[in-house]
Structure 1
Amino acid sequence: MDKNGPKLIKSVLDQVKRKSVLLYIQQRVIEINKLTISLQAVLPEHLKPWCRVANFRNGILVIEIANANILMSLRYEESNIFLRLREEVLPLLSAIKIRINPSIVSSYHQRTMKHSSYCDLEKQKIKLRYLSKESANILRSVAQQSPDKLKKTLERLASLSREESTYLDGI
């Protein structure tokens, strides 16, 4: 085997006699991952994909969440989560801080898209609604009394009625 070839990072770190910065970072990441697993064990099911541990220092657990909706749900459960974590995992836990990190949403979607089949993705699509003939007629009558730019837009929208075998998504 080539001495200059790729090596496992663990083997490189094991060769270091004293604690290096890289080794400290690796240990810290492992600790935070273990804390995230412990947090997931005490969270209600609907919160699990949207929460993760960001840090634990001086008895304060910092939890990152996806958005304000999750914040409200987590605040409701916070005392139960605090007590369970303190009893089961972190006896030194003195407080929980919560921060919103929107990137959790995109990382969740990347994970689910990666593991979803084509059929699952098709089931998740929003059902399409059709524009009725009556609605199309109303849009055309409003278009007749509108300025040119708005008139073109309303006519284009009216052309998407069900009777013309085209549909709208989400209107």
Structure 2
Amino acid sequence: MRRINHCMNKQLQSICQKAVEIDKLNLLVKQFLPTHLSEHCRVSSFSKGTLTVQIDDPAWATELRYSLPELRDALRKEGLYQLISVKLALANENYTLPSSNKKKRQYLSATTCSSLHALSEVCSFEPLRNALRDLANNHKHPTDT
């Protein structure tokens, strides 16, 4: 029986090899990070001497940023001689698409409407006076009468 890597075409084999290399780098990086940080980050790529570490929260990224020189030096000592820099990238896992539901309309309070109306009465610039009146009249909550 043939091994699975002999059945793959060259492109797929290259992708799988790159994934294995990134996984090894990920384990190596996590070995040099404090436990509380290693749970929130992972290696996403290594290209042209730049190691990109993806982190799931900006607060953790700030803490990790202070540890980068030591991490870089430790990785070089472990044989990653081509490492020039370490770059942080914020993971977008927590990003949610905007919902298709319309946002609930917000209304001005009765006090605000009366203040806007009173302000429109003393305003001498006609376009502003009309805008203030429209705002005061058109944004009342349906239950405010």
Range into which the TM-score falls when normalised by the shorter chain: 0.5 to 0.7
Which of 79, 89, 100 is matched with 2:90 structurally? Answer: 100
Q: For residue 15 of structure 1, report the CA deviation from its aligned partner.
A: 4.0
| Pairs within 5 Å for 1:54-93 | 54-93=44-83
How far, CA to CA, are the matches of 1:11 and 1:22 in structure 2?
A: 14
Consecutive aligned runs of 4 or more in structure 1 exceeding 6 Å deviation: none
| Pairs within 5 Å for 1:1-171 | 11-15=3-7, 20-103=10-93
Give the partner amino acid of 2:55: I
Give the partner amino acid of 1:66: D
- Structure 1, unmatched stretches of 5+, are 1-6, 105-148, 150-171
Q: For residue 44 of structure 1, report the CA deviation from its aligned partner.
A: 1.0
How far, CA to CA, are the matches of 1:51 and 1:64 in structure 2?
A: 5
Compare the two structures and name the one with the higher helix fraction: 1
Q: Secondary structure at the match of 1:103?
A: coil
- Structure 2, unmatched stretches of 5+, are 95-142
Q: Is the 8 A contact 1:61 1:96 kept in 2?
A: yes
Give the partner amino acid of 1:85: L
Give RMSD over aligned pairs.
2.6
Q: Secondary structure at the match of 2:39?
A: helix
How far, CA to CA, are the matches of 2:92 and 2:3 in structure 1?
A: 36
Matched-pair identity in %: 28
Q: What whole-Å deviation, never above 9, does each CA across 1:134-166 have from its counterpart, x for those lacking one?
A: xxxxxxxxxxxxxxx9xxxxxxxxxxxxxxxxx
